[in-house]
Amino acid sequence: MNMFLLLVMAGCISQEIPFKEYDISLQVVDSKEGVTHYATILYEWFGEGDLRYPMYPIDETSFDGNTLTSWLPWVEQGEGEGLAVYIWEDVNSDGVLCSLDDGEERTGLVILDESEFVADIEIELTHQCLGFELMYSQIQNEEE
């Protein structure tokens, strides 16, 4: 019996999880002066069946100014489908997207080619105060 438990535990412990590192550089077009930008990399789709939904966050970072050079997020392979990057600008430096006192923070979303591990992205922040789920649904509606 003890040997059986040992084999079961050893099988669970040695599971290998495949990750891939992406190298993402971002240039925000027409950025406001002196703002901090927040970037999130997301799975475009996550889950299965009735529990499948869009825009699952994987990693996030922030950067001052309009350029982020060489962000290196690790993405677990086989967990989700597609990749996207969402950006928003924090004009009042409160770390909150569009808090009650500020509706001027712009957002943008770009769908990535997940087979490209190096991405140099130019992104325009086209909407105000939209979270990534709503921005993604608008992009999908525009494509249809």
Report DSSP letters for the chain, one per residue. -HHHHHHHHHHHHT----EEE-EEEEEEETPPTT-EEEEEEEEEEES-GGG-EEEEEEEEEEEESSEEEEE--EEETTSEEEEEEEEEEETTSSSSTT-TT----EEEEEEE-TT-SEEEEEEE--EES--HHHHHHHHHHHH-
Per-residue model confidence (pLDDT) at position 19: 92
Contact (CB, 8 A) for 109 and 85: yes
Q: What is the mean pLDDT of the chain?
A: 87
Cα 31 to Cα 105: distance, rounded to the nearest angstrom: 11
Residue 4 has pLDDT above 60, yes or no: no
pTM attached to this predicted model: 0.83
pLDDT number for residue 12? 56
56-67, pLDDT tens digit by residue? 999 999 999 999
